[in-house]
Structure formats: C-alpha cells, structure tokens
Chain A
Amino acid sequence: MRSAGAGLRAPSIRKALLTGLGALVAFFFMAPYIQMLITALTPSKELYTVPAQYLPSHLEFFNFVSVWEKAPLWGYLRSSLIISVFATLLVLLVAMPAAYYTARYRYRGRLLFLLLVLITQMFAPTALVIGIYREFVTIGDTFPPAGINTYLSLILVNAAFNLAFSTWIMVAYFSTIPVELEEAASIDGASRLGVLRRITLPLALPGIITATIFTFIAAWNEFVVALTLAQSPDIHPLTVGVTTFIGQYRVEWQYLFTSSLIAIVPVVILFIVIEKWLVGGLTAGSIK
C-alpha cells in the first residue's frame, strides 16, 4: 500500500526513516502507559520519592496478583464486557439500516434526520445525568428489566449516546460506494441482499469497524452514568470499580494503575483482532 507521493528513489532509506519515525511515535503514545506499568509494579513505600526515580528498587509483580483480591475485578470485567458488547451490537443493529437508507435515498426529512443525529452527539451524558436517572426510574416502574441498577439501562444509554457517531461515519462510508457498483452487481443477477453482502458491506467495512471500535471503547470507558445508574457493586463496570482504590486519605496508585492496565487489555485484544478488516476490505479496480 503506497501513499500518495510514493516515488523516492531509495526505498530502503525511506523505509528506515519511516521506521525510526514510527518508533518515536509509538514510544510517545505508549509512554504514559509504560509509566503506569512501572508505578503498578512499585512497592508502596517507594511511590513518593522526591525527586521521582525512573525505576523502583525492585519490581513488585505481586501487585498484579494481590489486586484481584483487593477488589472483585472479575466481576467488574464481566460487567464491562456485557455492557460494552451489547451496546455495540445494538448500535450496529440500529445504525446500519438507518445509515444505508440515508446514504442511498434522498427521502423527505433526510436532512432533518441527519441534523437530529448530529444534535444528539452534542449532548454529553455528564450534563444529562440527572435527567437520565429520572428517566430510568420512570422506565423501571413500567418495565423493570430496564430500570435503575440493570444492565439493560446502561446498554441503552451507551448505545443511544454513541449512535450519532456510528451513523454519521457509516453514512459517509456508504455514500462513497458508487451506486454503479451495486447496479452492476444487480444487473449481473444478484439479489438485493446479495448485493449488500457481497459488494456494499465489504466496501464499507472500514467504516463499520470504526463504528464498532468507537462504540465499544466509549461504552467500556464510560463513567458518570455507570456510577449513577449502577448502584449495586455486582454490576459495576471497571471504570466505577477502580475508584475503590481512591480512599479518603490516600490513593493506592499502584492498584489503581494495575487495574487500569488490566482494563486496557480486552480493548487492545479486540482491536488487534479487528484490525485486519480495517486494513483489508478494498476491491482494487472497482468498475471494469
């Protein structure tokens, strides 16, 4: 895959430079998390040295073991997974048809729909937390499985607040797929569904994957609404769970960071798995 402007005469020098640059970039973005790891492995006595030391005298790997006993991390992980996975599925389920139709057809009210979607993106859950709480109390009165202190309420909130971005990005992707491609396939004898499956979706895959990742991460890291709607510790996701290490008179930095690092792992795994679809999925030479 060559970017625009390829054509330098010395590809190996170019590649070396790029690799060097890439390494710098990678280090820059990983730096705070490397620091997190170092602090996570620091014995508590050495946390507060002035001036700071680069590495502690010895690495307290046991922190990664004891943290599981200090707080119910498995439970938090499970909750986070449930909320994030279902919120993401719900968003895809709802946004894909809406995005496809909006990209393809100039129906009456299309502009209004797009503006409405954009407007919802502007509301931050933090600003609306009181209203959200009140709303789910009311919903819970008529439909308990979606009331306060349920997974369903958190799934709905996370899905609704991430709908806008996913819809927008998928509209953008579906729009860039030339209609001629679909028509060409239809003429070749494919059914509508076949066209979708074989032509449209693969081409729009980067957008769909982006929407998936964005929603998953947003739901995984959401804090304020989870804190408010999830009262019992059994359904606390990780974001709420790790605050247990922020005591009134001390912050247990090493456990805070240990659990934060643990929380990053599933997301990174998801990304690594999905990344190849993000990269691939292009047909070269589309219209022959």
Chain B
Amino acid sequence: MGKRFSGLAAIGAAGLLAVTATVPAAAQDKTSIEMIAAQYTDAMQPYFDDLASRFMEANPDIDVTVQVVNWNDIDQVVTTRIATGEPPDIANLNYFAAFAADDLLYTADQIVDEATLSDLIQGFRDNSKYDGVEYAVPDLASDRLFFYNQDILDAAGVEPPTNWSEVKAVCQAILDTQPGIVPLALPLGPEEAQAEFLIWAGGNGGQYFDGQNWVVNSPQNLETLNFLQELVDMGCTQPNPGSFNRTDGAFALFASGVVGMLNGAIFLPGELENTYESDVNWGVTPFPAADGKESITLGVQDYFFGFKKDGNQEAIQKFMSFLFQPDNYAAFLDAAGGFLPATVSAGESMSDDPFLKPFIEVLPSAIFYPSDQAAWGAVQGAIQDNIGAAFVPGADKQAILDQINAVGEEG
C-alpha cells in the first residue's frame, strides 16, 4: 500500500519477532511438569518459586513451573485447561472426584512416595477417595470452632451458647443491651456458603450426602434454614446474609469488635493478630447444635492430585515427595498461614501450640464435605450461588434446596 505502511509493517514484524524471543525454548531430553496451585496467601508464589528452583537444581532432568491462581479464578482456569484437553500435571484444589470419575487422575500412591503416603493422617486419606480408591492426597486441613467476643457477652451478662435456644437468648440479650452491635455474623455469601451452611446444618444432624443420595433438601436442612431465618428476622444477624462473606465482611467486623458471635476457623486467630491487628478479646467454644443434638465441627481439606499424561508420573512423584519433606512441608504450611497439617509428623511438631489445642480436640467429631462424589464440585458451586437467595423476602426455601439438590442428582 505504499512505503509508509510497508515500513510500519516491517517495524511491526521485527518488533513482534523480538518480543517472541522471550518464549522459553522447548527443553530437550527434559521432562516438563506444570502445577496449578491455589493462592492461600500472597506468600504462595514465592514459596513455590523457591521450591521449584531448589527441586530443579537437585533434579536437572526435570523442569517445573508452578502457577499460583487465586481462589476466585482457579475454577475457571482448571476447567478451561481440562476442557481443551490440556490439563496441568498437578493441581491443588478443593475437589477432585469429578476428574477421577472421568479417569483423568493418577492414584495417590503414584503421586507421592511410600514414606509420605504412610505419614498422611488416615482421616484425611479416607476423605480423598473416589469409588473406594485414593486418587488425591490432602495438602492441609482446617476445622472450625464458634468464636465469640468475650467483652460483648460480658456486657450482655450471658455465657457462650451451647445450643440453638441459647443462641437466640444470647442474641436477644445483646440486642437489648448493645444496639449497634451485630450479635451474630452470618456469612452466607458466595465465598464459602457451603461451609457456613453445613456447620449449622450439621448441628441439626443434616448433611449434604448421606452415603447413597444427595440430601441437600432434607427436612433437617429446611429446619436449619428456617431457624436461621428466625435469627435474621429477630435482627440477630447483619442484613442480607446471602451477600455477606467472611473475607470482606464477617472477619473484619469481628476484628473491629462489632460482632458478638461468629463461626470461625483455625486460621482466624492468625488473621486477627496479623492482618487485622485486632485487640478483640475473643474466645472459642464448640458449635452450638440444635437442642438435643450433637455438636460437630466441620473439617475441610484441600487436595493435590496428578493428571495422567505420558511420561510425567515419575516427575510428579519426585516433586510431590520433595514438597512433603519435613522442612519443605513446614514452609508450605507456614506460607499458607495457620492450617492444620495433613501429616502425622508435622502434626506432632505443632501439637504444643496452645492456639491449636482446642481445634485439634474437636477433630474427632469432624464432618466433611462429600468430596468423594463426582458432582460435589458443581453442588458446591450451586450452594455458593443460591443458598443466599433463601433469605430474600418471599423466597421459597424448599425450592432452592431442591434446585441445589438437583445439581447433585444430575451429575
């Protein structure tokens, strides 16, 4: 089209070629593996970069890249990769069974060495099975306790509640004595609604999956929703629980001393101290259950799992076993910030931590998500999206529960 444009085109082409010279060259005779890891904190990427480079020094024939993605986006990234037939080699997510169901994964003994496998806590290993076979290994775990603000409860003249009736009574007492304080924070927004709801539901004997069928819409769960609605109507909770999350709402409110009670987790004390620098006088107690029912705690674990591809199994196993070496694993837990270890050995070295003690004590009564069900990933998404809608005025709670249940049944 003339000298000007061909000149421009030449510059453009040269520029593009120069820029593409930054593409890493395909390694010869090297196995390359790629991991997608979850961003627990912003210390994860530096941790993995360091781990990978030390591993590569020790294993010059293996190339490792780790991409750390934050929890908001990791589902999208992993789904895209799998949908295009390009899964990573290792993934770190909070569900795995759907991939196992499609026969995409290695078994647990193929991705870590024998020593690591036998060091993993049995309870978590049991929760990493699909169809009776262990496909994933636990990376870390948390469990939960009921947190309360001692000063607020003292000012209201009440003790921490032990069952649902007492929860109502404590709420009322706080409302009467301290207007402007939120007695109970109820984060049922998309961030971790599946946890929040299961804690309350579990206290009523309800669950998501009973071993045979999806029972998200069971009568006990409806009762739980109705109980929570009563609390909302009383003014016990912050408005609009369906749009309220922990990370940008409940925790911060608790930290600034505006909330009386809250479902908290093992990492909350660390957050209160380090992130929020809070001077709230907090205490913990087991979760209040429905009158006459057993108190539970919710155990949550995430997973590492490996995707079957030609020639990567050995590399995966070496890298994962390297990660689980005591020093590296301790650094992992440290970077992730305040979680329970998945290995017995790491647990032992942390057991004299006074903060951890109450959390470790309730671990035996832990209930877990049904992550051995292939449809769990989708059901989790459905709960996150929809359970909050149950609190919009005029909502049909049963229909919402049915809708969520249907996602499980279809899967």
**Chain A interfacial positions (CB closer than 8 Å to B):** 44-45, 47-50, 70-71, 82, 86, 89-90, 93, 96-97, 129-130, 133-134, 137, 144-152, 155, 192-193, 196-197, 224, 227-228, 231-235, 243-252
Inter-chain contacts of B1 with A (CB < 8 A): 97
- Among A48, A82, A145, the one with the most B-chain Cβ atoms within 10 Å of its Cβ is A48
CB distance from A56 to the nearest CB of B (A): 14
Shortest distance from the beta carbon of B272 to any chain A beta carbon, whole Å: 11
Q: Top 6 A-B pairs ranked by shortest CB distance? A: A145-B20, A48-B252, A134-B84, A45-B277, A247-B41, A193-B2
What 18 additional pairs, Cβ within 8 angstroms, besides A89-B8, A228-B80, A249-B246?
A: A44-B276, A44-B277, A47-B252, A50-B258, A86-B19, A89-B12, A93-B12, A133-B80, A134-B86, A137-B85, A149-B23, A227-B76, A243-B72, A244-B42, A244-B68, A248-B40, A248-B71, A249-B275
Contact A144-B8, Cβ < 8 Å, known A45-B277, A50-B256: no
Q: How many A-B residue pairs have CB under 8 A?
A: 144
Contact residues in A for B26 (Cβ distance below 8 Å) = 144
Which chain B residues border A192 with CB–CB below 8 Å?
Answer: 2
Cβ–Cβ contact B67 & A231, under 8 A: yes
A50 / chain B contacts, CB cutoff of 8 Å: 253, 256, 258
In the complex, what residues of B have CB within 8 A of residue A96's CB? 5
A251 and B67 contacting across the interface, CB-CB below 8 Å:
no
B155 in the interface (beta carbon within 8 A): no
Interface size class of B (residues with CB under 8 A): 35 or more
Q: Known contacts A48-B253, A228-B77, A243-B70: does B3 contact A193 (CB below 8 Å)?
A: yes
Determine whether the beta carbon of A151 is less than 8 Å from that of B22: yes
* B1-24 at interface with A (beta carbon < 8 Å): 1-5, 8-9, 12, 15-17, 19-20, 22-24
Shortest distance from the beta carbon of A229 to any chain B beta carbon, whole Å: 10
Interface residues of B in 41-84 (CB under 8 A from A): 41-42, 45, 49, 65, 67-73, 76-77, 79-81, 83-84
A70 to B9, CA, bound (A): 39
Q: How far is the CB of A159 from chain B (nearest CB, A)?
A: 11
Chain A residue with the shortest CB-CB distance to B81: A133
Asked whether any CB of chain A lies closer than 8 Å to the CB of B99, the reply is: no
Within the assembled complex, what's the spacing in Å between the Cα atoms of A105 and B72? 49
Partner-A contacts on B (CB < 8 A): 1-5, 8-9, 12, 15-17, 19-20, 22-24, 26, 34, 38-42, 45, 49, 65, 67-73, 76-77, 79-81, 83-86, 246-248, 251-253, 255-256, 258, 267, 271, 275-277, 337
Do residues A146 and B15 form an inter-chain contact, with CB atoms below 8 A?
A: no
A148 to B83, CA, bound (A): 15
Q: Enumerate chain A residues within 8 angstroms of B246, measured Cβ to Cβ.
A: 249
Instruction: Jot down 6 A-B pairs with beta carbons below 8 A, ordered by A.
Output: A44-B276, A82-B19, A129-B76, A148-B86, A151-B19, A247-B39
Main secondary structure of the interface of A (DSSP, over half): helix
Distance in angstroms between the alpha carbons of A225 and B252 in the assembled complex: 32
Q: Which residues of B contact A224 (CB under 8 A)?
A: 76
- Residues from chain B with a CB closer than 8 A to the CB of A48 are 252-253, 255-256, 276
Q: Which one, B20, B42, B72, B253, contacts A252 given CB within 8 A?
A: B42
**Cβ–Cβ < 8 Å partners of A250 in chain B:** 247, 251, 271, 275
Chain A residues, Cβ within 8 Å of B41: 247-249
B45 touches A244 (CB 8 A): yes
- Is A44 in contact with B275, judged by CB distance below 8 angstroms? yes
- Give B285 Cβ to nearest chain A Cβ, in Å: 21
Chain A residues closer than 8 Å to B12, beta-carbon distance: 86, 89-90, 93
A151 to B19, CA, bound (A): 7
Residues of chain A within 8 A of B81, CB atoms compared: 133
Q: What's the least CB distance linking A157 to chain B, in Å?
A: 14
Q: Are A244 and B39 in contact (CB under 8 A)?
A: yes
- The one of A130, A146, A155, A249 in contact with B251, judged by C-beta atoms closer than 8 angstroms, is A249
Chain A residues with CB under 8 A of B9: 93
Across-interface contacts of A248 in B (CB, < 8 A): 38-41, 70-71, 247
- What's the minimum C-beta distance from B337 to chain A, rounded to whole angstroms? 8
- Residue of A whose beta carbon sits closest to that of B338: A249
A45 to B272, CA, bound (A): 10
**Which residues of A are found within 8 Å of B8, using beta-carbon distances?**
89, 93
